Amino acid sequence: MGRSEAALSAASSGAAQENDIGDATWLHFGAVNHLPGCRRRLWRSTILLTGEQGRIGLSCFPFVSTHFLAQATACQDQSLAARGNTAMATQSPEGKYRTLTAEEEYVIVHKGTERPFTGEYNDHFAGGVYACRRCGAMLYRSQDKFRAHCGWPAFDDEIAGAVQHLPDADGQRTEIICANCGGHLGHVFVGEQLTTKNTRHCVNSLSLAFIPEVEVKYGRAIFAGGCFWGVEHWLQQEPGVIATTVGYTGGTKERPTYEDVCTHTTGHAEAVEVLYDPVRVSFEQLAKLFFEIHAPTQSDGQGADRGDQYRSAIFYVDEAQQQTADMLVAELKSRGLNVVTQVSAAARFWPAEDYHQDYFLNKGAAPPCHVRRKLW
Ligand SMILES: [Zn+2]
């Protein structure tokens, strides 16, 4: 096991492994980033190992992205029950968009621009997430913010799928809007050579709501439905999914390898851990997608993949997820489907080997093992 794997194994853990969670605190959420030229998706490509004052290392750990995001959250919020569908601070209890002030409406609705060097986040560099001020969707991470000296907050990356790029009405620039609610954010510029990513999201402070790292709430879900390559392929395309990791869970052996699991003696299932923005997607939406992309009625595996490692299962992280999963299973059974999906409490999740991560994304192909058929 290499240095990076050792460090990651030490940090990886399930909810009950608080000591391991403690080990992970130095690899906090604010350290997730990616290297220029990396082929992987932005949100899972690379982790910069940073201290509070700066970088202490630079490595590419694509296979742990969700795990670190999850654990980093757990560092600050030990209660998994507090995750799930936790609403953002800017979302009203009714799920409606936040009521805007006149100046916020000028920018967010009427695509106005705040005066330079006046916004509250222009010179703001605390650790956390910048969400949409209107709907609360997570848009940018603090580690992607940089000093562009342009008068407005500048980011050289976005949370995957959270920002939509459109031709501006001026026919020259590229407007950026919140992918969830369509609120105006600002404009994006490329080719300025300001950072290695060569991109500058120029965003109005009035479009943003900063969430300190300790208050950021991610949703976490774990699904098993046959070969994890195919399950991940579908889940990572769902809007609102921030990161996915394939791995092993529900078994007995610690730090299982793929070869261990293939012996069918460890009890592990091939599974996918999903970290998501609960403002943009719910656990129920993800669970419904899960049922649509595999065969929940097959008891001996999935397709030609036979054995307990390919079993259909939902590993819930809180009571709300359990109730939702049970409800969906009951609904499908009421339609005459003999669903055999197991609904079990989440156990420790072990990230799989690097070559299993993003398998079909890297291959640039659709999985032959998992096709989607609409059930809802
Ligand atoms: Zn929004």
The mean per-residue pLDDT over the stretch 85-90 comes to: 34
pTM: 0.73
Task: Extract the tokens encoding 340.
Answer: 């055999």
Task: Extract the tokens encoding 33.
Answer: 């980033």
How many whole angstroms from 138 Cα to the centroid of ligand 1? 8
How many whole angstroms from 350 Cα to the centroid of ligand 1? 34
3-state secondary structure 316-333: ECCHHHHHHHHHHHHHHH
Q: pLDDT value at position 120?
A: 97
Catalytic residue among 38, 202, 262, 369: 202
Q: Which residues of 52-79 are buried (b: 16+ CB within 10 A; e: fewer)?
A: eeeeeeeeebbbbbbbbbbbbbbbbbee
Q: How far is CA 23 from CA 92, 116, 136, 245, 289, in A?
A: 35, 42, 30, 20, 34
The average confidence (pLDDT) of the chain is 79
pLDDT above 70: percentage of residues in the chain: 75
The answer to whether the Cα torsion of 67, 76, 7, 345 is positive or negative is negative
How many whole angstroms from 182 Cα to the centroid of ligand 1? 6
Q: pLDDT value at position 39?
A: 35
62 versus 217: the higher-pLDDT residue is 217
120 versus 78: the higher-pLDDT residue is 120
Q: Is residue 316 pLDDT above 80, yes or no?
A: yes
Going by C-alpha positions, the residue among 315, 278, 284 that lies closest to residue 82 is: 278
Q: Is residue 367 pLDDT above 70, yes or no?
A: yes
Q: Is residue 18 pLDDT above 90, yes or no?
A: no
DSSP 89: T
How many whole angstroms from 158 Cα to the centroid of ligand 1? 14
The mean per-residue pLDDT over the stretch 342-354 comes to: 96
Strand, helix or coil at 11? helix
Q: pLDDT value at position 94?
A: 52
How many whole angstroms from 204 Cα to the centroid of ligand 1? 13
pLDDT digits (tens, 9 = 90+) for 119-130: 999 999 999 999
Where would I find the beta strands (DSSP E) of 51-204? Answer: 55-59, 128-132, 138-141, 145-146, 154-155, 163-167, 174-178, 184-190, 199-203
The mean per-residue pLDDT over the stretch 68-94 comes to: 34
Catalytic residue among 75, 227, 262, 369: 227
Q: Spell out which residues have Cβ within 5 A of ligand 1, the ion.
A: 132, 134-135, 137, 178, 180-181, 183
- Do 154 and 145 meet the contact criterion of CB atoms below 8 Å apart? yes
**Is 227 a known active-site residue?**
yes
pLDDT-based confidence at residue 106 (cuts at 50, 70, 90): very high
How many whole angstroms from 97 Cα to the centroid of ligand 1? 8
3-state secondary structure 206-264: HHEEEEEHHHCCCEEEEEEECCHHHHHHHHCCCCCEEEEEEEEECCCCCCCCHHHHHCC
For domain 102-214, give its CATH number from 3.40.50.300, 2.170.150.20, 2.40.30.170, 1.10.10.60: 2.170.150.20
> Where in the chain are the domains?
3-82+217-363, 102-214
303 versus 174: the higher-pLDDT residue is 174
pLDDT digits (tens, 9 = 90+) for 169-193: 999 999 999 999 999 999 999 999 9
**Is 178 a known active-site residue?**
no
Burial of residue 112 (number of CB atoms within 10 Å: 0-12, 13-18, 19+): middle
Least trusted range by pLDDT, from 155-159, 213-217, 299-303, 327-331: 299-303
pLDDT-based confidence at residue 304 (cuts at 50, 70, 90): confident
CA angle 307, 238, 201 (to 5 degrees): 140
75 versus 260: the higher-pLDDT residue is 260
Domain 3-82+217-363, what architecture? 2-Layer Sandwich (3.30)
